[in-house]
Amino acid sequence: MELKVKRFRMQNTVSKILLLILFSGFIFFFQGCSYSFTGASISPIVKTISISYLPNNSLLVQPTLSRTLTETIRDKFTNQSNLSLVNSNGDLTIEGEITGYTTEPVAITGDQKSALQRLRITVNIRFANKQDPAQDFETSFTRFQDYDAQKQLSAVETSLIETISNELAQDIFNKAVVNW
């Protein structure tokens, strides 16, 4: 009986050691990887990002749009990657400008009235990667949201801008660091 207990304890100890080695190997392996659960694929030597303020150069200027969109993009990169935000000279840089802010009717009723309006925002982005210039790009991104034409834009504008800014930030994040 005593021999069985010793054998059980020895097997239990060996199992714990093997589990510890396996777990340590798993941690060591993933510590060197640059993949995150957000899909970002960022080189381990890339540590910082600088995201410039995006001025609103569209014909129709909404006063809070530049700040909202810039902060949303900054939040996206800092929350979904291991990058540190710096004011300038980051390993990755994003700059650009808002080039379009428009509303237009999209659903016309039988009596020639608009049932839906569309708010469309376009931003031109220049991305640079100091470590891998082959990934640099300049691209225009556009997103929109429809709203009930019976409502004034001013009544729904803040929530529409937040939604569109989140979608644009995700598009920019995907193009810059999610290499699908």
Residues 45 and 131: their CA atoms lie apart, in Å, by 8
pLDDT-based confidence at 35, cuts 50/70/90?
Answer: very low
pLDDT reading at 30 higher than 50: no
CA distances from 168 to 33, 52, 118, 137, 172 (A): 27, 15, 16, 16, 6
| pLDDT at 28 (0 to 100) | 46
What pLDDT digit, counting tens, does each position of 122-178 carry?
999 999 999 999 999 999 999 999 999 989 999 999 999 999 999 999 999 999 998
Average pLDDT of the segment spanning 80-109: 92
Q: pTM of the full predicted structure? A: 0.76
Q: Which of 92, 103, 99, 101 is nearest to 124 (CA)?
A: 99
Average pLDDT of the segment spanning 71-76: 97
CA distances from 141 to 19, 89, 128, 149, 165 (A): 48, 24, 16, 25, 11
